[in-house]
Structure 1
């Protein structure tokens, strides 16, 4: 598994290097001052491919990965629900509505960080790789051209609104990230629940890194506009070190959930399409095989939801429960039949077992 992960990391890194060379027109558009950033992205590509391969090799993640991509490439699912995938991408990846159910403040802060980082990545990575450039069309400005892979995309005036947005996109991203990261940092300093389980390297370092990157980036703009470049070199090095460190840290820290999050969309699509089919009877037989042997199998409703073996309340889609039971069997967890009970009934059965087998011994 480690050998496969290493080979995957090397392959992705080589592909990225080739893309940088070809996309920058054999390095003609590559800015040597950005070399440390480019090298960091190559390490990032290796780390993400390596850890993702290791993650997908685990039984649970492998099943989730397989079922998610199966639902994604299913022509039948697309015919039944053509808008399901775009809606789930917007819900789970874009606007992350599931966070709003926990706290509106946490949702707003997470949105600020998410869109700020997305904007920064869309600007930084292509510039670092030499994929697009800004060149003066008149020699001294203010007319500029934006070129992607050497092809002119648009021309703009650096002194108008479009020009300001072009050259200050990273500043806008920093303004979005700072309040979002600061809120979560404040919360981790004040919330007792967060303090109890947090780890400095895993929970606090990512937030501190985002704030340092954003603040140093804004200070670079402040130095160039108001200080006539005073302290610019020191700030540039500090900013570069913070960015490089964060890029290398992403695959091995909390930021890795950015790479894992799309898998949640695949699983939600798998559950949604299974519910839409409305004909899970064949699957239900496999799901409730253990229950049938006990004489009290759960029933599957018309919309594909499997009922609790004890109270009949819907648990989840039958294929999803089957997938969960398969993962538990792969992990040699010998209580996969418990997946067919709702959370309330699990608590009741545990309490009953305690009264019968444990409390009895104290009489």
Structure 2
């Protein structure tokens, strides 16, 4: 143990310091790093494989394209590009040492029978609170949390409707050919029948309009915030922060205008609106894996990490600061962080064993001892 009054080295000059005391086992060697070219090749192969699987699923799910609507072909092509982009970037992301370690630990905790026996409700509770209702955002601002929820559930509803319809998995058919009775079929099998003139029927045919209203409300708040909030204005970038919000608004507004045109304008301007809507949707789907919305794909991986930390706390595996003894985090999490730092060849991984306050104190002592004394 270090003496609190004894000066120590700064993180930049501490590579020679012992990692965890005399009784600690030797640190494992850092993981072998893949070359960027090898990572890109593997990501491209993974993306191509997912695209092939999606195309096969579209063909089989639409009953050999019998239920596939050719008018929706641009949307279907965009989803194939979306699948490639998400798979490509996700593969590249988890190839980095930090993400790879967290990814493996998350899946290990997810498939652990011991974790399930000890805390069977932990994973469903985390999915609901961390992924679904995103309660961690409420600590920042209740208004931002509400806006996130509006966008999240609006996009989820739109995706659940749009993707199956685009792929030909969902069909709505009328036994009489003219309504008002309709059958909803999935992969050709009848799921339920409903009256198009009933409230349920109205909701079924206007689900995308309801999703558009939710998204417009949430995206409008964030647009207003980025125009008024000084903190948001200072750090925002047009392509990264504003383009995604503009795309969501254009998709939602043009979608509502399509309904408005068909009901109140007898189809006036429908073709132009349909093309504008299609272009905005295709652009957003292709842009999604390489822009700000990629965090939607990354977020589920964070649930596994939360489960990893939660199960360690249940076992009371708490790592305490080497200097003051205050708890820092779970022991497996600190060890995972140190392993990542070794993989990145950061030669001060032992500093993960100190709490933030002690790090500042030790850095100050090192500065007084090794830097400022040169001015005396």
Fold shared, TM-score > 0.5 on shorter chain: yes
State the partner residue of 1:316.
329
State the partner residue of 1:124.
162
State the partner residue of 2:275.
237
Deviations 1:85-107 (A, max 9, x none): 00010111100000001110110
Deviations 1:98-137 (A, max 9, x none): 0001110110000000000000000000000000101112
Residue correspondence of structure 1 range 241-260 to structure 2 within 5 A: 241-260=279-298
**3-state DSSP class of the match of 1:65?**
helix
State the partner residue of 2:184.
146
Residue correspondence of structure 1 range 68-107 to structure 2 within 5 A: 68-107=106-145
Could you list the runs of 5+ residues in structure 2 that have no partner in the other structure? 1-38
Deviations 1:288-317 (A, max 9, x none): xxxxxxxxxxxxxxx111111111111111
State the partner residue of 2:355.
342
Higher relative contact order (CA 8 A, sep 6+): 2
**Cα distance in 1 between the residues matched to 2:372 and 2:72:** 68
Residue correspondence of structure 1 range 165-176 to structure 2 within 5 A: 165-176=203-214
**3-state DSSP class of the match of 2:177?**
coil
1:362 CA displacement: 4.1
State the partner residue of 1:3.
41
**Cα distance in 2 between the residues matched to 1:45 and 1:254:** 16
**Cα distance in 1 between the residues matched to 2:348 and 2:188:** 60
1:197 CA displacement: 1.6
Answer yes or no: is 1:20 the counterpart of 2:94: no
**3-state DSSP class of the match of 1:57?**
coil
Residue correspondence of structure 1 range 173-212 to structure 2 within 5 A: 173-212=211-250
State the partner residue of 2:202.
164
Higher helix share: 1
Instruction: Call closer, same or farther: CA 1:196–1:353 in 2, change over 3 Å.
Output: farther
Instruction: Call closer, same or farther: CA 1:187–1:355 in 2, change over 3 Å.
Output: farther
Residue correspondence of structure 1 range 323-362 to structure 2 within 5 A: 323-362=336-375
**3-state DSSP class of the match of 1:146?**
strand
Deviations 1:248-296 (A, max 9, x none): 00110111111100111000001111121x2xxxxxxxxxxxxxxxxxx
User: How many residues are matched?
Assistant: 338
